[in-house]
A and B are shown apart, each in its own frame.
Chain A
């Protein structure tokens, strides 16, 4: 568990660098704003991203619970899924953490045991990547669903207004038994 102790000690620096690398995916003028404005209502993208990354890193240091991971990752992905990013750009920030951690571990600390721990920690980051992929797809599907529903509602309303659709009435029609063919009547 030496790696975790080390990461715990360097947590603040790591999260800060992870955040900096993440917001560097935005144009430089935007990145400045995302970093400096601390009010969560004036800067929802920056603050949601920062809080999400900090919580994710905490969770990675513990026994990782997928549901909890999802709840921290979702707000960030939800934002990036509607911004001007390609799918890989939208989820790239997760893998930045690998480099940030490698940069924060001194060469002399790289003993065999630590190296193994690092590999398994990086596997957790890979898992995070897969969860992000699911979340990203959920968001995109939601967007298409919203688009489709708006179109469907509009079209259905148009038919409805034109009197071309009728809802099934609550009371059943009063019909005699109508048998289409003899066989059918025998079955009844």
Chain B
């Protein structure tokens, strides 16, 4: 018994106090559950990214190129010259702290380096050291003086810290809403990730979808026949539920409109039900008004993970949608419920691959509405298109088929903050279902909280990080669930549909996730349909059970 430790000894190695050192002196601790796996070298090679190699984030040695500091420094310089915004953002922050507590990762993790100001400071400290006169002068006096002006040298520890924390930002831009100077911390993350890519540091959940998208046209690498097969399954489902056979067309030259949606809608539940909703809507419009739209198995991805890699990669992947529109000779494009696809279209496309002068200014063939906001990109968001149809009373709807749902709406970061699409999705939801409840005001619209897994962070291995980042959103969902009995969280983004499903399963398991057009599909009365007894998920509709069963 003499070996039995005393209580004091037992607990002496349990340290619940965090380190009290300043952020610059607290070394990075790369933790399991937080970091994502390194990019597959084959994927990097496929899209011509440099220094493709096997490396492991938790290894001491990252097999970096010998001159990595030189490469980063040169890349930093180039980007400061190329992007005026980055130069300004590096200089003007006064560290007021307005952004500090606005980030979902900081709120959920409690890790101070996730305060947007501090995440940006990781790069700024190196900027001050290498690119400012003050940094150079003070640095020449002695290393210890650098801290006074918040400067430090780039070394391996700093680089690891960059990688770890730049992949703990979803580029959601909530922090920028609160910055009095309008600093867009997402742009700082974007640039930081570009720099990391110069020396082959990426994560696999981004770079493999990029390579797949470049090769096959979508993130999962689904080939055209498999894409069509999946849609055929959906057609069978629709026939079973409604008695109506829906036959979408693919790659059809001369169609008036091209439809592009994230591949998640075709291959990942619950996005697949949203896809079924689109198919039903297009069929309805075709039957009633002769609507002429085609899907493409080549432009089979709305999402653009190039956006999380580099400006060049984003441009390259965005171009394929327009190339397909040109090849098919369509007049304009409708885009599905996607997040960052819309940020790329709205904020980058026009100066990157645009103007799309071979297309026509979008006009709804059914209502005659001119979508003037899409005058240059020629691409209209489906929520906007459907809202316009409802406004003009062009859809026959049975809203009672959504009565089993108590719905709230999550504004996707990219469509709300990135393009100001706030009212249209709400208008559609309120017209297709009868029970709608908003989440608290500081968690929606421009102030919406990220799903916690955007910008390529929806991997499996970083589940703890995703749950931390998802907490503020889920906390608001929990509130409306407890107050109003909300059981359905709707959104207009494929990443949201995947990410929020896991998030609510952990935080509020009583709530499910849906796309807006799934609810449209539930309510839409197709010409010639039989009495529906189930919703699009083939779950029985309360009060509409089969007569035979009685």
Q: Which of the segments B12-20, B182-190, B250-258, B362-370 contacts the partner chain?
A: B12-20
A84, B111: Cβ atoms closer than 8 Å:
yes
CB interface residues, B 258-290, toward A, < 8 Å: 267-269
- Contact check, B14 vs A147: say whether CB atoms are below 8 A apart: no
* Contact flags A137-164 to B (C-beta < 8 A → 1, else 0): 0010011001100110110010001000
Across the two chains, which residue of chain B brings its CB closest to A21? B16
Q: How many positions in chain A have a CB within 8 Å of any CB in the partner chain?
A: 38
Q: How far is the CB of A91 from chain B (nearest CB, A)?
A: 10
CB < 8 Å: which of B16, B115, B476, B505 contacts A88?
A: B16
Contact status B16-A92, CB under 8 Å: yes
Stretch touching chain B among A32-40, A112-120, A128-136, A177-185: A32-40
Instruction: Tell me if A169 is interfacial: C-beta within 8 Å of chain B.
Output: no
A6-34 contact mask (Cβ, 8 Å, vs B): 1 or 0: 00000000000000000011111110011
Task: Write the nearest CB–CB distance from A144 to chain B, whole angstroms.
Answer: 8
Contact in complex: A25, B16 (CB < 8 Å): yes
Q: How far is the CB of B22 from chain A (nearest CB, A)?
A: 10
Query: Does B248 lie at the interface of the complex (its beta carbon under 8 Å from any beta carbon of A)?
Result: no
| Beta-carbon nearest neighbor of B471 in chain A | A44
Task: Flag if A39 contacts B442 (CB, 8 Å).
Answer: yes
- B122 CB to closest chain A CB (Å) equals 15
The minimal Cβ–Cβ distance linking A116 to chain B, given in whole angstroms, is: 21
| Interface footprint category on B | 35 or more
CB-CB under 8 A for A30 and B31, given A37-B101, A147-B461, A151-B460? no
Contact call A41/B507, Cβ cutoff below 8 A: no
Q: B107 in the interface, Cβ–Cβ < 8 Å? A: yes
How far is A92 from B16 in the complex, measured between Cα atoms in Å?
Answer: 7
Q: How far is the CB of B380 from chain A (nearest CB, A)?
A: 30
A161:B226 contact, CB within 8 angstroms: yes
Question: Is residue B34 contacting chain A, with contact meaning CB distance below 8 A?
Answer: yes
Confirm or deny: B492 has a beta carbon within 8 angstroms of a beta carbon on chain A. Answer: no
A41 and B110 contact, CB distance less than 8 A: no
Q: Which of A41, A84, A150 touches B472 (beta carbons < 8 Å)? A: A41
Q: Does A42 contact B (CB under 8 A)?
A: yes
B145 to chain A: closest CB distance in Å? 24
Asked if B222 CB lies within 8 Å of chain A CBs, one says yes
In the complex, B100 has a CB within 8 A of chain A: yes
In the bound complex, residues from chain B placing their C-beta under 8 Å from that of A151 are: 460
Q: Which of A53-61, A62-70, A75-83, A102-110 contacts B (4 or more CB under 8 A)?
A: A75-83
Q: Flag if A30 contacts B476 (CB, 8 Å).
A: no
Question: Among the interface residues B31, B112, B226, B479, which one has the most CB atoms of the partner chain A within 10 A?
Answer: B112
Q: Which B residues lie within 8 Å of A92 (CB)?
A: 14, 16
* In the assembled complex, B440 has its CB within 8 A of some CB on chain A: yes
Cβ contacts under 8 Å, B467 to chain A: 82, 143
Across the interface, A83 reaches (CB within 8 A) one of B110, B440, B475, namely B110
Bound form: Cα–Cα A79–B115 in Å: 18
Which residues of A lie under 8 Å from residue B15 when comparing CB positions?
89
Minimal Cβ-Cβ distance residue in B for A25: B16
Q: Are B468 and A147 in contact (CB under 8 A)?
A: no
The chain B residue with its CB closest to the CB of A90 is B16
- Which residues 88-103 in A have Cβ within 8 Å of B in the complex? 88-89, 92
- Roughly how many angstroms separate A146 CA and B507 CA in the complex, as a whole number? 12
Asked if B353 is at the interface (CB within 8 A of a chain A CB), the reply is no
Tell whether B172 is near chain A: CB-to-CB under 8 Å. Answer: no
Q: How far is the CA of A153 from the CA of B269 in the complex (A)?
A: 10
**Bound CA span A139–B461, Å:** 16
Decide yes or no whether B212 CB sits under 8 A from chain A.
no
Q: Is B502's CB within 8 Å of the partner chain A?
A: yes
B464 within 8 A of A: yes
Residues of B within 8 A of A86 (CB): 14
Q: Known interface pairs A29-B115, A40-B475. Does A147 touch B463 (Cβ–Cβ under 8 Å)?
A: yes
Q: Is A45 an interface residue (CB 8 A)?
A: yes
Docked-complex contact B107 and A28, CB < 8 angstroms:
no
Chain B residues near A123 (CB-CB < 8 A) = none
- Judge whether B83 is part of the interface by a CB distance below 8 angstroms: no
Assuming the A-B contacts A143-B464, A143-B506, are A25 and B109 also in contact, with contact meaning beta carbons closer than 8 angstroms in the complex?
no
Query: In the complex, what's the smallest C-beta–C-beta distance from A24 to chain B, in angstroms?
Result: 7
* B109 with A41: CB separation less than 8 A: no
B505 near A27: Cβ-Cβ < 8 Å: no
Quick check: A84 and B31 within 8 Å, CB to CB? yes
When distances are taken between beta carbons in the complex, the residues of chain B under 8 Å from A154 are 460
Within 8 A of A (CB), among B92-144: 100-101, 106-112, 115
Q: In the assembly, what is the distance between CA of A44 and CA of B226, in Å? A: 43
- Within 8 Å by CB of B108, from A37, A45, A88, A161, lies A45
Q: Does B73 contact A (CB under 8 A)?
A: no
| Chain B nearest CB, measured from A13 CB (Å) | 22
Q: Which B464-490 residues sit within 8 Å CB-CB of chain A?
A: 464, 467-468, 471-472, 475-476, 479
Q: Which residues of A contact B505 (CB under 8 A)?
A: 142, 146
A161 to B221: give the CA distance in the assembly, Å. 11
CB distance from B27 to the nearest CB of A (A): 14
Q: Could you tell me the distance in whole angstroms from the C-beta of A46 to the nearest C-beta in chain B?
A: 9
Q: Is B400 an interface residue (CB 8 A)?
A: no
CB distance from A165 to the nearest CB of B (A): 13
Q: How far is the CA of A136 from the CA of B443 in the complex (A)?
A: 28
A43–B101 touching, CB < 8 Å:
yes
Interface string of B9-50 (1 = CB under 8 A from A): 000001111111000000000010110000000000000000
CB of A146 within 8 A of CB of B109, answer: no
Most central of A27, A41, A83, A88 by chain B CB within 10 Å: A41
Contact of A45 among B17, B110, B440 (CB under 8 A): B110
> What separation, in Å, do the CA atoms of A153 and B498 have in the docked complex?
12
CB–CB A30/B111 < 8 A: yes
- Bound Cα distance from A67 to B471, whole angstroms: 24
Closest Cβ of chain B to A147, distance in Å, is 5
Q: Is the CB of B226 within 8 A of A88?
A: no
Q: B278 CB to closest chain A CB, in angstroms? A: 20
B479→A41 contact, CB < 8 A: yes
Q: Which of A27, A34, A86, A150 has the most CB atoms of chain B within a 10 A radius of its CB?
A: A27
The 6 closest A-B pairs by CB, nearest first: A44-B475, A82-B467, A150-B460, A30-B110, A27-B18, A29-B112
For the complex with contacts A29-B115, A37-B101, A82-B108, 10 further pairs of A-B residues with Cβ separation under 8 Å are A41-B440, A83-B108, A83-B110, A84-B31, A89-B14, A92-B14, A143-B33, A143-B467, A154-B460, A161-B229
| A-B residue pairs in contact (CB < 8 Å), sample of 15 | A27-B19, A29-B112, A33-B100, A34-B110, A41-B475, A42-B101, A82-B467, A83-B109, A83-B464, A88-B14, A89-B16, A92-B16, A142-B506, A150-B460, A151-B460
